[in-house]
Chain A
């Protein structure tokens, strides 16, 4: 187990730096509940986006629904803009199998037809099961299959990564 994981804030800052040159005025940032929204909120502020932040809850699109049922706290998705023809920057905290991202893209297409979708993740931990790769990555790690990497938010709003 790695002795310590890096601080989150510098990772997000680096992510913002790499994203900034690619941003067009009509790009919207959409975070995936819950950790992706936290990262997206930071990016949204750092990148001075004019358009409001979007949030996705992919509970209704999960492919393991019939096995594990509905998540007990489903939050409504909130996309306060028209998706049609837009460039979307999809943000999640950790990329693992890629199933969450697939579900998120399915949901996005049910709202309309975006011009493009690019993916930004705080951590790419490996273990991909689908042909989905991030366009922007804060940190690349190799984490054994039996372990999980989690982003959590402290009461003061501070974000931390942990391994379990």
Chain B
């Protein structure tokens, strides 16, 4: 019983990549492929979602992600409304459902939700009327499915196939919704070896049970990798009980040209952004020939268009 799928197995919400069938992931990636050229045309728009209202419901600030969703929606000709809702301790809770109800009354067709609490998108999806779709744009540490999908799109574009790859995810997996979505997508798409690399303080308990191999040194973890995904280290984690300092972190887990040389010569380097240069990644690598960090951003729009198009279509059948 997957709340994301309709009774006949179509996508109803996109809340997490955990448990989504491979066929649906592939369908999203294929659809994104056909949206790729829309951004390069004179009129960067298709009329697919004309007349639909999409609400970007951001309970946690994020300009980057919100912008890419906004562009994607506009390229599909949807009407987009951005709402940045600060969560104060007084108004939290009640406010969420009240907000959702109010927007639904304005005939919203889709909510793009970001929230600091894991499970917030599930919570809203459970509450909305049947014709409204919810896209999770990041909930706490839980999931960021469109980021995970755009990363898969990037890997497929540069590597072609998934079944022969070794992929390493490096850094703060504990707090990363991006890493969780990547792990589910990679394992579902058939990547035989997914690795996580980091100090024990930044890896979640029982992470192996998500189907990954755990490494605590870059030397061992990067050897033979086709894809190296660096995670952002939030500034509040850099000092204190999880890590002694950003300097020590960079020395042992930052991606430098020397460490990248341990991976395969044609390995690609990815990062969900925004980057902390000199903390998790050296500028020479970030701007180097193996980096695909900027293409990731471009692909993000096509992938989000694909997700919105698949969710919005056929809802009145």
A residues whose Cβ falls under 8 Å from a Cβ of B: 57, 59-61, 65-70, 72-78, 106-107, 109-112
Contact = CB atoms under 8 A, between A and B. Distances in A.
Contact of A66 (B41, B42, B310, B315): B315
A106 B45 CA distance: 11
Contacts of A72: 27
Given A67-B314, A77-B34, 14 more contacts: A60-B48, A61-B46, A66-B316, A67-B316, A68-B313, A70-B31, A70-B314, A78-B37, A107-B46, A110-B41, A110-B42, A110-B43, A110-B45, A111-B43
A67 B43 CA distance: 25
A65 B48 CA distance: 7
Contacts, number: 65
A58 to B, nearest CB: 10
B312 A112 contact: no
Interface string B300-317: 000000000110111111
B124 interface: no
Given A75-B34, A76-B34, A110-B43, A66 B313 contact: yes
A65, A66, A68, A107: most-surrounded residue (chain B CB, <10 A):
A66
B262 interface: no
B47 interface: yes
Nearest to B23: A72
Contacts of B52: 66
21 contacts: A57-B34, A60-B38, A60-B46, A60-B309, A65-B314, A66-B312, A66-B314, A67-B314, A68-B313, A69-B313, A70-B310, A70-B313, A73-B30, A74-B30, A74-B31, A74-B34, A76-B34, A76-B36, A109-B43, A111-B41, A111-B42
A156 B284 CA distance: 53
A60 B315 CA distance: 16
B47 A61 contact: yes
